[in-house]
Amino acid sequence: MIETLKKAKIVVLISGSGSNLQALINACETGHLNAHIALVISNRPQARGLARAERAGIKTQVIDHQDFIKRADFDKELARSIADYSPTLVVLAGFMRILSADFVDQFASRLLNVHPSLLPKYPGLNTHQRALDAGDNEAGATVHFVTTELDGGPAIVQAAVPIETHDRVEDIASRVLVVEHKIVPLAAHWFIEGRLNLRAGAAELDGTPLPIQGYVFRSSKTTSHHNSQIPSSV
Ligand code: GRF
């Protein structure tokens, strides 16, 4: 109990499979992330990530966006539930809703999102299809601070993966997920250790503004999909 009190508190928002949530759970369990996940909220009752949270003994809540006529009312309910826990950090881990400016303002500077592209390329949906259509030879993911601009907040960390000949969207998606599972816990770790800040609209790591694409993460082959580790060198 005393240990729990010393740890940072994270609230994670999901919509789907929750594999990024799992990476965060693993990082908390192995001690790579000095935090505990206080609550997982899904906007979809069927999200598979809810079962992952329950298995890990984490409290879950469903706030189904379909129960709300107005987007603002959904956002208010969501904000109320999160605020009850006074989290250090809120992570959007595959959370597929656009959030209103009021919501973003309420949690400004402690709201992270993972996006499956090498931002600023391909904000929005269907990122892998768009990369294929453009003939790109790499895809990737970016963790960024959330601002009112869709997928446009300052980038924190980015990881690229190759696009191989004959790749389909699913091939790229699963390759990208592997790196997401590394950079999501890494960004959360930096934030919780106080090394990462949003200052005057820019992401800073260890007091130095990050470049437009964020810290460029280079994957180590020893880290497997299911065993996300935070590299000690960063
Ligand atoms: C991730 O690729 C994320 O970038 C995108 O949706 C996917 C969610 O995966 N927005 P999961 O639910 O964490 O498994």
- Please, what are the domains in the chain? 8-217 (3.40.50.170)
Predicted pLDDT of residue 232? 47
| Residue 92 contacts residue 113 (beta carbons within 8 Å) | yes
| Residue 27 contacts residue 185 (beta carbons within 8 Å) | yes
Does residue 141 have a pLDDT over 80?
Answer: yes
* C-alpha–C-alpha distance, residues 144 and 188, integer Å: 11
Find, among 142, 120, 117, 146, the residue nearest to 216 by Cα.
142
Strand partners, 145: 112
Does residue 119 have a pLDDT over 50?
Answer: yes
Q: Whose CA is nearest to atom 10 of ligand 1?
A: 94
Predicted pLDDT of residue 219? 74
Phi-psi region of 141 (alpha: psi -120 to 50; beta: other; left: phi over 0): beta
Amino acid at 115: H
pLDDT band at 227 (very low <50, low <70, confident <90, very high): very low
* C-alpha–C-alpha distance, residues 131 and 108, integer Å: 30
Q: Which residues are catalytic?
A: 115
Report CA(2)–ligand 1 centroid distance (Å). 33
Does the beta carbon of 20 sit less than 6 angstroms from any atom of ligand 1? yes
* C-alpha–C-alpha distance, residues 28 and 44, integer Å: 24
The number of the ligand 1 atom at minimal distance from the alpha carbon of 95 is: 10
Q: What is the mean pLDDT of the chain?
A: 93
* Average pLDDT rounded to a whole number, residues 93-106: 96
* C-alpha–C-alpha distance, residues 213 and 101, integer Å: 23
Q: Whose CA is nearest to atom 3 of ligand 1?
A: 94
Report CA(137)–ligand 1 centroid distance (Å). 21
Q: Whose CA is nearest to atom 5 of ligand 1?
A: 94
Predicted pLDDT of residue 222? 39
Does the beta carbon of 114 sit less than 6 angstroms from any atom of ligand 1? yes
Q: What is the DSSP letter of 107?
A: T
Does residue 220 have a pLDDT over 60?
Answer: yes
* Average pLDDT rounded to a whole number, residues 45-56: 98
Predicted pLDDT of residue 6? 81
Does residue 38 have a pLDDT over 70?
Answer: yes
